[in-house]
Amino acid sequence: MKIALPVDEKNIDTTVCPSFGRAPYFLIYDTESNDYLFYDNQAASSQGGAGIKAAQSLLDNQVSFLLTPRCGENAAQVLNTGGVKLYKTISESAMENINAFNDGKLLLLNEIHPGFHRRGGAGSI
Amino acid sequence: MKQLLVLSGKGGTGKTTVASAFIRLSEARAFADCDVDAPNLHLVMEQRAKAEKSDYYGLPKAELNPELCTQCSLCIEHCRFDALISGREFKIDPYACEGCGVCEAICPVKAISLKPAVAGELILYRNGGKVFSTAQLKMGSGTTGMLVSEVKKQMKEAAGDTSFAIIDGSPGIGCPVIASLSGVDLVLIVTEPSVSGISDMERIIQTAANFHTSIAVCTNKHDTNLANSIRIEDYCRRNDLFFAGQIPFDPLAVKAVNSGKTIVDLDCPSGRAVKGIYNKVMALLLADEGGAA
Amino acid sequence: MKIAVLSGKGGTGKTLVAVNLAAVAGQALYLDCDVEEPNGHLFFKPTDVKVKDTVIKIPSVDDGLCTGCRICVDFCQFNALAYIIDHLQIFDQICHSCGGCALLCPEKAIVEKNKIIGHIEAGISGKVSVRSGFLNTGEASGVPIIRDLLDSVDLDQQKLVFIDCPPGSACIVMESIRDVDYCLLVAEPTIFGVHNLNLVYNLVKLFNKPFGVILNKCLAGEENPAEKFCLEKKIPILGRIAFDAELGTINSDADIAARVSKKYQEQFTSLLTKVLMEAENEAVISS
């Protein structure tokens, strides 16, 4: 099973990033093989809809669970439709959260915040 | 960190006057001016700290290379924003360009490409544990909403351990207001007792209601039209909105602002009135356990 | 002659000036481009009102034709599209209506549908034609409504048009002043007012529009920072409206001062004469 976390650095001692859509990297951890990898979040510098693009990348990596402190409504919609379950992180350490998840200690993330509505531009919207 | 946002719907009702008074009274350690189009808060906040500025990149803009361009006009045909101008040499109007990329995709000779464009400046003042985040949108730019989000993000990242932040918002109900509402716990709407002010107040309340934040209302210059002031209180009662109080019209307020001070920096009727509103609103903000994260 | 009334700062008196000048002009067209918070109709109370919705185009997908190639997802600069399992999800509120996804889809699986974001109202008040734009709450940009409003009537056929602009100097203001002949800037005597006046002064210069200032809420015997600014920048001051509690009350009750008070009818009539003379001079110079 693959778990994903938004993280601040590309090493296993990293902290969890407070933002999902604009986290610099994602950590994907395979709970069966204990293998893991990091990838750059292409959505971080997006003009808008960063959460959507980040969520898409998780689906493309066959992730089943996302551990995150928070998530916006557009990203949550993509993830829910794609069958990914969202859990709320309990500490800043990525590894602590992974262990807590494996021990069944994490709770589902229920507070989904409205999007940041990063929009704008001179034309019609 | 709880967030208090000051909005009004109508311009000129006194958002910055009230927000600056709140910042002064609470000795807030994190505050921001989200009216990035026409920021004013810095004019009364006596910033002695050096401004830390960074470029803000908005949407990329299309650039056309006239040497490659064959003037086939496919770009003009498909641009929804009237940003392509024909002529002896085809040109792109950077003020109209939305950065959508259709012209780049459709050009058969790759004469157009999207390039990053500076749309404004983010500004941060750090002074003795206090952070003040603001920005200035470049003349003629769009993407105001995105810059507002950057101002809030800059404030949150620079702020140390503090329990609340105060944000001065912008007039209207469009994208900069919507962007400023995200993640806010309490909105204080400053209105004025005019038919226009009330109409605009109703529209901003509707907008804020979409965000499930708590809403408080106060009436500025209330004695300029007592009948309308009563209408505002009634409206709040009927719609279950917290009415935080009223501020009298006060010529000393203009004097204070014009000398770069807040209305609580000197003894005046508006300053005294705003203190009462401040106490009620801050109690609501810090007690409120619900609201958006 | 198309005259825009703008200010940078909100609450300086744009609507007061635009509404009253239109009211004393005899035949005129008043356009309220402050589509987020329109107020002009509250003063004019137009009758015979006709309403027209403003729509924008939002993509919608035919799942039967979609092959999941994701060309549209990768193209969208605004990330308004996501491909989840076997279905394309479209995020209406993030879409900028550029039409790119529909254009680029190799299977022609995306078509565009109309979404209503607001409306325009056209009516009459005495000799004034009143047209206002209204943005629906929750929508981010009023630019398409301003476009509809400006396109709804042949402006060049009108003798005199007053365009009441939104506050600020961003894209909605630029859209409102795009085709005007003259810009009237309304300033108030506060440092906030001057700071914002400076922004809108730069905007009208950028757009090469001739302009002049009306100083509002003037306090006798007090230093006026806005007047100082105009003198420094050599901006023509076309008129001064004194701060007056009576005017404030009339205005706060949404009455048109020039229609209910002889004093203000005279003042705005003389102001209109000055404005038209200045605007026509500038038109001659720039033609």
Q: Where are the domains of chain C?
A: 2-54+118-286, 56-116
**Same domain as B87, residue B216:** no
Q: Cβ of A44: how many Cβ atoms within 10 Å? A: 17
Task: Summarize the confidence of residues B244-271 as an average pLDDT.
Answer: 93
Please count the other Cβ atoms lying within 10 Å of the Cβ belonging to residue A1: 12
Shared domain check, B138 and B34:
yes
B85 neighbors B93 (Cβ within 8 angstroms): yes
Work out the angle between the directed axes of helices B195-209 and B226-238 (0-180°, nearest 10).
20
Two structure tokens written together for C202:
């730069």
Q: Which residue has the higher pLDDT, B77 or A43?
A: B77
Residues paired with residue C242 on neighbouring β-strands, in sequence order? C218
Sign of the dihedral defined by the CA atoms of residues A62, A68, A71, A76, in that order:
positive
More confident residue, B141 or C1: C1
How much is the pLDDT for B293? 36
Å between A16 CA and nearest CA of chain C = 24
Domain boundary, last residue among B72, B99, B116: B116
What is the span of the domain harbouring residue B80? 61-116
For chain B, the farthest-separated pair of C-alpha atoms sits apart, in whole angstroms, at 70
Instruction: Give B118-175 as a DSSP string.
Output: EEEEEEEEEETTEEEEEEEEPTT---HHHHHHHHHHHHHHH--S-SEEEEE--SSSSH
Q: Which residues pair with C90 in a beta bridge?
A: C81
Contact B11 C10 (CB under 8 A): yes
- Examine the domain organization and report whether B74 and B210 are in the same domain: no
Report how far apart the first and last C-alpha atoms of chain A are (Å, whole number): 40
Name the DSSP letter for residue B212.
T
Q: Is the domain of B193 the same as that of B245?
A: yes
Per the model's pLDDT, the better-predicted residue between A114 and C68 turns out to be: C68
Q: Looking at A47-56, B103-112, B248-257, C185-194, which range is the least confident one?
A: A47-56
Task: Give CA–CA dist B243/A85, Å, rounded.
Answer: 41
Question: Considering Cα of A66, then A71, then A76, then A78, what sign does the dihedral take?
Answer: negative
Mind listing the domains of chain A with CATH numbers?
2-102 (3.30.420.130)
Same domain, B13 and B110: no
Name the average pLDDT for chain B: 90
Same domain for B234 and B126: yes
As a whole number, the mean pLDDT across chain C is 92
- Interface contact A49-C80, CB threshold 8 A: yes
Question: In this predicted model, which residue has the larger pLDDT, B213 or C268?
Answer: C268
Q: Is B293 domain-assigned?
A: no
Of A46, A49, A83, the CB nearest to C91: A49
Question: How many angstroms separate the Cα of C200 from the Cα of each of A125, B30, C184, C187?
Answer: 24, 29, 11, 11
Search chain A and give the residue with CA nearest B79. A123
Contact: C170, B99; criterion CB under 8 Å? no
Shared-domain flag, residues B44 and B153: yes
ipTM above 0.85, yes or no: no
Residue of C nearest to A121 (CA): C171
Average pLDDT over residues B228-252: 94
Task: Please check whether residue B36 lies inside any domain of the structure.
Answer: yes
pLDDT at position C43:
96
Which of B258, B259, B261, B263 best probes binding to C when mutated, by most C CB atoms within 10 angstroms? B258
Q: How far is CA C108 from each of CA B5, B103, C62, C77, C78, rounded to the nearest angstrom?
A: 45, 19, 9, 20, 21
Q: How far is CA B118 from CA B60, B131, B142, C196, in A?
A: 8, 24, 11, 21
Query: What is the chain B residue with the closest CA to C252?
Result: B194
Last residue of a domain, one of B74, B97, B116: B116
Tens digit of each residue's pLDDT (9 = 90 or more) over B110-169: 999 999 889 899 999 998 889 999 999 887 777 778 889 889 989 988 997 899 999 999
Q: Using CB atoms, which residue from A49, A55, A119 is nearest to C140?
A: A119
State whether B173 and B230 are in the same domain: yes
Q: Which residue of C has its CA nearest to A119?
A: C94
CATH number of this structure's domain C2-54+118-286: 3.40.50.300
Pick the residue of C36, C165, C174, C177 with the most B CBs within 10 A to test the interface with B by mutation.
C36
Q: Does A114 touch chain B (CB under 8 A)?
A: yes
Q: How many domains does chain B have?
A: 2
- Region for residue A65 given its phi and psi (left: phi exceeds 0; alpha: psi -120 to 50; beta: otherwise): beta
So what's the architecture of C56-116 in CATH? 2-Layer Sandwich (3.30)
Does a structural domain hold residue B161?
A: yes
Percent residues over pLDDT 90 in chain B: 63
Say if residue B109 is in the same domain as residue B180.
Answer: no
Pairing of strands B51-57, C182-187: unpaired
Regarding whether B97 and B222 lie in a shared domain, the answer is: no
Name the DSSP class of A83: T
**A117/B182 touch (CB, cutoff 8 Å), yes or no:** yes
- Tens digit of pLDDT for each residue in B175-233? 788 888 877 889 999 999 999 999 999 999 988 887 778 999 999 999 999 999 999 99
Alpha-carbon torsion (C20, C23, C26, C31), positive or negative = positive
**B107 lies in the same domain as B224:** no
Distances (CA, A) of B249 to B9, B204, C131: 19, 23, 33
Residues B49 and B23 placed together within one structural domain of the fold: yes
Chains in contact with chain B (at least 3 beta-carbon pairs closer than 8 A):
A, C
CB atoms C141 and B175 under 8 Å: yes
In the prediction, which pLDDT does A2 show? 95
Instruction: Confirm whether B292 is domain-assigned.
Output: no
Q: Which residue has the higher pLDDT, A97 or C141?
A: A97
Checking if the pLDDT of A125 tops 50, the result is no
Chains touching chain C, criterion 3+ CB pairs below 8 Å:
A, B
* C190, pLDDT greater than 60: yes
Residue in C37, C206, C250 to test binding to B, most B beta-carbons within 10 Å? C37
Residue B12 and residue C11: Cβ atoms within 8 Å? yes
Q: What is the pLDDT of residues C152-173, one digit of tens each?
A: 988 888 899 999 999 888 788 9
CATH code of B164's domain: 3.40.50.300
